[in-house]
Amino acid sequence: VSGSMGFGNKQAKEKEALRAFTGRMLDDSVIGMQTFSGSVQEIVPISLYKDVKSQVQNAINTLPILTNTQTRDGLTLSQQKLSAAISQNKFPDRKYFLIFLTDGIPEADPPILDAAHCEKIVYEPRIRSDRCFAKIQDPRNPPNVATEIKNLGVEIYSINITSQEVSDVEMGPLLEALLRDVASTPTADHYYTSLNGTDLTRILEKVFTDICS
């Protein structure tokens, strides 16, 4: 729900894909949802789909557009929620998957624009401001949050919503490397890219099929 999701019709495509994805779920499917921008929030607790069906649909329909992309904080919240569900054996005999969907580089809120805090700084004409690949929000820095999630037995799918904006192109290789590192192996089966979200529905259909198989 970062600010850049408001450009290029990306969030509309995201909502469309999420409606299609959840529309395929059975009542005894398990789902949880978190957002990460400006702050991190659990918008649907990990639950049986039948118990939160209306909450899920309302969460999708009312997804906001906020500010910066707090990648590490978002994955940390997911790690905490997954760890709790697994340690409490909340849903016996279930395997857990995390679908991590983002269109932006890790950002601090508020941003600190200097070399000590930024892996890279790029000017973005669209917002008339510099953007910083924030080291503090890189989930790979110790402790590696993605590794902690995988160590729980959770498979991670990462979906990179790309664009042709100046800073997205300049930062693209850094973000792709991060999301490939976050994804489970084999990477070719767990990492996807989507230009402006145009094929998100197809990607999530593929992920759904992989999970259910």
**Tens of pLDDT along 39-60?**
899 999 999 999 999 999 999 9
Query: Would you place residue 7 in the very low, low, confident or very high pLDDT band (cuts 50, 70, 90)?
Result: confident
The dihedrals phi and psi of 57, each to the nearest 5 degrees, come to -65, -40
- What local confidence, expressed as pLDDT, does residue 110 receive? 85
Q: Say which residues have a Cβ less than 8 Å from residue 62's Cβ, sequence separation at least 6.
A: none
The dihedrals phi and psi of 154, each to the nearest 5 degrees, come to -95, 130
Q: Say which residues have a Cβ less than 8 Å from residue 205's Cβ, sequence separation at least 6.
A: 20, 21, 24
- What local confidence, expressed as pLDDT, does residue 91 receive? 96
| Burial class of 93 by CB neighbour count within 10 A (0 to 12, 13 to 18, 19+) | exposed
Q: What is the mean pLDDT of the chain?
A: 95
Query: Would you place residue 122 in the very low, low, confident or very high pLDDT band (cuts 50, 70, 90)?
Result: very high
Q: DSSP letter for 185, please.
A: S
Interhelix angle 49-61/10-23, rounded to 10 degrees, is 160
Please give the single-letter amino acid code of residue 168.
D
- Cβ neighbours around 29 below 10 Å, total: 17
- Cβ neighbours around 87 below 10 Å, total: 9
Query: Would you place residue 38 in the very low, low, confident or very high pLDDT band (cuts 50, 70, 90)?
Result: confident
Instruction: Tell me the mean pLDDT in the region 185-213.
Output: 96
CB 198, CB 13: distance < 8 Å:
yes
Label the pairing between strands 155-162 and 191-195.
parallel
The dihedrals phi and psi of 89, each to the nearest 5 degrees, come to 50, 45
Instruction: Tell me the mean pLDDT in the region 95-105.
Output: 96
How far apart are the C-alpha atoms of 167 and 131, rounded to whole Å? 7
Helices (H), the chain: 10-23, 49-61, 71-87, 145-151, 166-182, 187-190, 200-212
CB 43, CB 59: distance < 8 Å:
yes
3-state SS assignment for residue 67: coil
**Tens of pLDDT along 148-167?**
999 999 999 999 999 999 89
Q: 């990492």: which residue's tokens?
A: 191
Query: Would you place residue 127 in the very low, low, confident or very high pLDDT band (cuts 50, 70, 90)?
Result: confident
Instruction: Tell me the mean pLDDT in the region 188-192.
Output: 98
